[in-house]
Amino acid sequence: MENLVKLNIKGISYSQTQTGAYALILEEELGGRKLPIIIGSFEAQSIALALEKDIRTPRPLTHDLFVSIGRAFSFKVKGVFIHKLEDGVFYSNILFEDKDAMEEEIDSRTSDAIALAIRFDAPIYALESVMEKAGIHLEVQEQEEESIANAIREIEEEVAKQEHKHDFSSKSKEDLEREMKEAVKNEDYETAARLRDELDKR
């Protein structure tokens, strides 16, 4: 079996190559190689919030909900395995274990797998072949060291904006219905659900 390389999260920084994306930097535990993975803003927020235990969102994020389901039904994440890199996309599996020690490996986006690994306190691994293909040696820079703190500051501001944005008390019923249709059209289902709840209250 191919060797596994244990990885730790080094930081998150804004991607210089893709607008609206972030670079998640994973670092080899025993070595100097780093694995940069481009992730979306939602996943970056979820990972940064999981790393910073003191920040609580007004409502559970999707990954937090998954943890609650795991506790309710007695299963956990045992580990995350990044097993392939193809056309710039990392492929990962999550290893789950239930209360009877039965294991199941399930395909996942790497960003989701890592967001869950942090919450379940599970290790993250990559195959040696993935590290050989994508691992790079990065100089340790002050900017990199501060990247998580910067990401968390951005998230705190975004959470505050979202709380203000979701104050629908001054809107008419017609405005709420119009905005709910627009939110569904834009696949912003969280906002659509908030608008629906406000309509139900009325």
Rounded to 5°, the CA angle 158-11-162 comes to 10
CB contact set of 46 (below 8 Å; sequence gap of 6+): 61, 62, 63, 115
| AA identity, residue 33 | R
* Res 198: pLDDT: 77
Asked whether residue 33 carries a pLDDT value surpassing 80, the answer given is yes
56 strand-pairing partners: none
Q: Which helix (DSSP H) or strand (DSSP E) does residue 86 occupy?
A: strand 75-86
Q: Residue 141's pLDDT band (boundaries 50, 70, 90)?
A: very low
* Secondary structure (DSSP) of 162-202: HHHHT--TTS-HHHHHHHHHHHHHTT-HHHHHHHHHHHHH-
Asked whether residue 12 carries a pLDDT value surpassing 90, the answer given is no
* Res 140: pLDDT: 46
* Res 101: pLDDT: 93
- What does the pLDDT average to over 13-33? 78
- Asked if residues 13 and 147 have their Cβ atoms less than 8 Å apart, the reply is yes
Q: How far apart, in whole angstroms, are the C-alpha atoms of residue 49 and residue 27?
A: 19
pLDDT digits (tens, 9 = 90+) for 87-131: 888 999 999 999 999 999 999 999 999 999 999 999 999 999 999
Stated pTM of the model: 0.66
* Res 136: pLDDT: 75
Q: CA-based Rg of the chain, rounded to a whole angstrom?
A: 19
List phi, psi (to 5°) of 176. -65, -45
Q: How far apart, in whole angstroms, are the C-alpha atoms of residue 113 and residue 53?
A: 18
